[in-house]
Amino acid sequence: MFPDGTISAAMKLFVATLTLFLCVSAPAQLLASEPGSTCEKCHMELDEGQPDTPTTLFKNDVHNREGLGCAGCHGGDPTSDDEEVAMSEEKGFIGAPDELEIPEFCSKCHSNPSFMKQFDPGLSTYQYSKYLTSVHGIRNAAHDRKTAQCVSCHTAHGIRAADDPKSTIYAQNVPNTCAGCHSDKDYMADYEIPTDQFADFSRSVHGIALLENGDMGAPACNDCHGNHGAVPPEVSSIDHVCGICHANNMDDFEASTHFEYFEMLKMPACETCHSNHRIERPTTEMLQGEKSVCKQCHDLDDGTGGIETAESMRNALDSLNMLMTQVNNKIDEADRKGLYVDNMLFSMRDARQKEYTARTAVHTFNLEKVTKISREGIELVLKTDGVTDDLLDSYVFRRKGLVVSVVLLCLLAGLLWMKARQADMRQQKQ
C-alpha cells in the first residue's frame, strides 16, 4: 500500500519521538512507575498491622501522590524481589540517613530547580540555602543532633503540603510542631533559651486569633521567624517583622524621633512595649498608670515631658471612647424602639475609624496628632448624639400625640355608644 521508504521513515520518526519523550521525562517516569514497587510490597508485609510505619504513613505522603516512591529518597532497585539486590549499594541504596545528613538528603531534589520544575514550577528551591543561615542550620552544621532538621518539622514518611490542614506545617499546626522541642524543658535543657514561647503565644492576641478563632491572617511562629531562614525574606531583622502586617504602626514609629532613641538604646522596635510572644490587646492603660510602657524610660522629672504626654494622650483617647460608649447605648435604645438608626450606625463607624487611627498615631509620640484625630472623632460622635436625641425626642412627641388621640378616640367612642343607648331606650319607651 505504502512505498517502502515511507514506512521506514515514519517508523524512524516515531522511534525518535518516543526516545526523545522517554529521555525528557525519564526521571519522573522512572519514579512515577514505582507505586507497587518491590520495596513497598516487602515492607508492607514487614510493617503489617503496625501503625506509624513507613508504608502506612506513606499512603498520604505528598511524594507518594507525585509518584515518587521509596527509592526516590532511599535509592536501590524497586523492581527486585531480592532484599540483597533491591537494597544493594551497587543499586545506589542509601538506607535511613543520619539526622545530621537529612538536610542534604532532602535537598538532592529540593535544591535542584530543573528536577523540581517538572512537578511544580512555582515551588521554591531555596529551603536548604536558607536553612543553612538559621540557628537550626548553623547548629546542624556544628553536629548538634537535637536541633531541627527537615524531618523534625515535616516528618519523614507522612509529608504533606503546607496548605493541607493535616500537615505539620499548616499554619494552625505550626505552633505545636515547634513546641514539640521548644516547650520541652528537658529536651532544651542544654540551651540557654526560655521554653515559654508556645505558652505565651497561645494566650496572645495572635495565638487566640489563629488557634481559637481561625483567623489565618494572624501570624504563626514561622511568619515571624521564617520557614527555613532566620527571619522571613521580607525583613532585614526580626525587630521589624511586625511591620509586614502592621505597616501603619511601623511607618509612624520609623518617622518618629523615638526610632533613633530606640536604635541608640538598642531596644527592639515593637517588642519593647508589646513583647514578642505574649502580646496583649492594647488599652490606654499602656500609656498611663501601673502598666505604662513609657515608664520604662521616662519619669516625671526627666525633663522630656514624656510622662505628661502619655497622660494627655490617654485623656484624649479615653474621652473619645467614653463618649462613643454613651452614644452607642443611646442608639441601641432608639433601635429597640424600632426607630430607623442606620444613619447613626454609619457615622459611628466613621468615629470608630477615627479612634483606631488615633490609637495608631500614638506611635508618632506626637501629642498634637493624637488629640487632633481624637477631637475629630469627638465632633462626629457629638453630631450623631444630636441626631439621636432629635429622633428620640420626636419619638416621645409622637408617643404623647398617640396617647392623646387614643384618649380622644375612646371619648368619641363612649359618646357614640351613649348616644346609641339613649336612642335605644327612647325607641323602647315608644
Interaction residues for ligand HEC, span 61-100 (CB under 6 A): 62-63, 66, 68-74, 76-78, 81, 83, 86-87, 95-97, 99
CB-based burial label for 140 (10 Å; 0-12, 13-18, 19+): buried
Residue 54 interacts with ligand HEC (CB under 6 A)? yes
Q: Does 371 bind ligand HEC (CB under 6 A)?
A: no
Burial of 206 (0-12, 13-18, 19+ CB in 10 A): buried
Choosing from 9, 265, 345, 403, the residue that interacts with ligand HEC (CB under 6 A) is 265
Distances (CA, A) of 352 to 89, 109, 327: 70, 52, 12
**Minimum separation from the CB atom of position 8 to ligand HEC (A):** 39
**Binding string, 387-406, against ligand HEC, x = CB under 6 A?**
--------------------
Q: Which residues contact 203 (CB under 8 A, 6 or more apart)?
A: 278
**Least distance in angstroms from the C-beta of 256 to ligand HEC:** 7
Task: Point out which span in 9-17, 191-199, 344-352, 422-430 binds ligand HEC (CB under 6 A).
Answer: 191-199
**Is the separation of the CB atoms in 282 and 359 below 8 Å?**
yes
List 88, 100, 119, 395, residue binding ligand HEC (CB under 6 A) = 119
Q: Which three cell numbers stand for residue 162?
A: 503546607
Give the one residue of 158, 211, 229, 241 binding ligand HEC; rule: CB under 6 A.
Answer: 241
Q: Of 222, 219, 223, 195, whose CA–CA distance to 207 is shortest? A: 219
Task: Dihedral sign for Cα 167, 171, 172, 173, please.
Answer: positive
Q: Which residues contact 162 (CB under 8 A, 6 or more apart)?
A: 169, 170
CA dihedral 377, 383, 384, 388 (to 10 degrees): 150
Confirm or reject binding of residue 193 to ligand HEC (CB under 6 A): yes
288 binds ligand HEC (CB under 6 A): no
Give the x-and-dash track for 125-144 against ligand HEC (CB under 6 A). Answer: --xx--x---xx--x-----
Contact letters for ligand HEC, residues 294-333 (x by CB under 6 A): x-xxx-----xxx--xx------x----------------
